[in-house]
Chain A
Amino acid sequence: MIDFGFGLSRSSAVRLDEVDLSLYKRLEELEPQVRTCIGCGSCSATCTAGPWSGMSIRKVILNLQRGRDIEKMLSNCMLCGKCTMVCPRGINTRHLILSLCRIYEKK
């Protein structure tokens, strides 16, 4: 490529082929069920912490798949377990959150 000496500002689009999936892969290992998420939003709709912090497990999972940071999004989770009760795919979201908290320890 010829360098014209000026660059465009970097695109904010997520480059799916270049995303760093290490964290998501680690989560998949601990919680294989996470692969079956259909992103219906039930978990986030029922979330007790949602109104206080905008917490959304659906977003957490999706952001991990897109290589984005998620740390702040879990900060108000109360582990009440409602998300696990409503998940139509039977994902143990409550344990998934605990696993996420642990992954950060190892990072």
Chain B
Amino acid sequence: MDKVLIIGGGIAGMEAAGQLLKLGYEPVIAEKEDHLGGHVAGWHKLFPDMMDASALIEQLASKLDGATVYLRTRVAYMNRLKDGYSVMLSNGTGLVCRAVLIASGFRLFDAAKKEEYGYGVYDHVITNSDLEAWFNGVEDFRVPENPRHIAFVHCVGSRDLKAGNPQCSKVCCMTAIKQAIEMKEKFPDAEIWCFYMDLRLFGKKYEDFYINAQRDHGIHFVRGRVSEVGEDIDGRVVLKAEDTLAGTQVKLKADLLVLMAGMLCNEDTATIASMVRAAVDSDGFMRSRDNIYRINESNRPGIFFAGACTGTKTVPETVAEARAAALDIHNYLSGND
């Protein structure tokens, strides 16, 4: 039986491992964190169906019987052999496999890098992932008891040359609307404000969400990018933006500010790529053979991609890609290409 190394045990790695098992391979997952599921494991609910993130992880994990999973493990080095790769993991395990699946995912933009938003400086500024953790029951002193105004700022570290990421992170608009609705449900008396540059709601049922947010929850949408955040004497955050549709400067004193931190390529991407001399794209993510038909394939034989290591992806996209990658690997290993 062929071993397949899967770098990254997020939803892409898990789904691919499950599929590879079914196809009769022996997947080995190397996950740097102490749990499987990656970023999704820390999430509360997933749009558009508001499915529990934990339910998805459980479902994926249930199919991993027989797979080898190494937690807190990184790839120490990887060498190209004549037909395959010899790999040494940081836990001392060595293995030889003909195919490697890179599913190393993404990293969240460090909101403190956008200093003007005061993340880590002001008392009531959190990120999208902080909020999901809070939804999951993690205590957070920054979320006030009875907020009257809650602001969401889109595109934090996305579409921003100054933050080093000119790309759109694609999922944040939808996440913001989802979280806004969830907050409104928790705090029905609060006014919720979304500050956006452009609303990019491209997926199935996404527009319905938007309509819901407007019609059923009365969430306010302001077209303008917040460029400064101050703090008043009571410790509330003061946002400054231009309402570009009204053409006027606006200010908002909010009790909570949620920054929609964007998705960036993982720090490890370049390291892993250099080990096997796989190409890195201009946006810092892995470069696929093409971005239409062979997204799962790298420019190196036996190296495959799945999920957000090649660019920002939604959960359904990632899962679908992982499944496709498993099939690609099967075809490659069985010589069906």
Contact = CB atoms under 8 A, between A and B. Distances in A.
A and B touch in the complex (CB under 8 A): yes
Interface of A: 38-47, 50-51, 54, 56, 58-59, 85-90
A88 B244 contact: no
A31 to B, nearest CB: 16
A90 B247 contact: no
A88 B248 CA distance: 19
Contacts of B204: none
Contacts of B198: 38
A41 B225 contact: yes
Interface string B134-165: 00000000000000000000010001111100
Contacts of A47: 249
B240 A38 contact: no
For chain B, give the interface size range: 20 to 34
30 contacts: A38-B197, A38-B198, A40-B197, A41-B225, A41-B241, A41-B243, A42-B225, A42-B242, A44-B242, A44-B244, A45-B226, A45-B228, A45-B240, A45-B249, A46-B240, A47-B249, A50-B242, A51-B249, A54-B249, A56-B242, A58-B242, A86-B116, A86-B162, A86-B227, A88-B160, A88-B161, A88-B163, A88-B225, A90-B161, A90-B162
B224 interface: yes
Contacts of A40: 197, 224-225, 244
B244 A39 contact: yes
B228 A46 contact: yes
Nearest to B225: A40
The winner among A41, A85, A89 for most chain B CB atoms within 10 A is A41
Contacts of A58: 242, 244
Contacts of B226: 45
The winner among B223, B227, B243 for most chain A CB atoms within 10 A is B227
B247 A59 contact: yes
Interface string B168-197: 000000000000000000000000000001
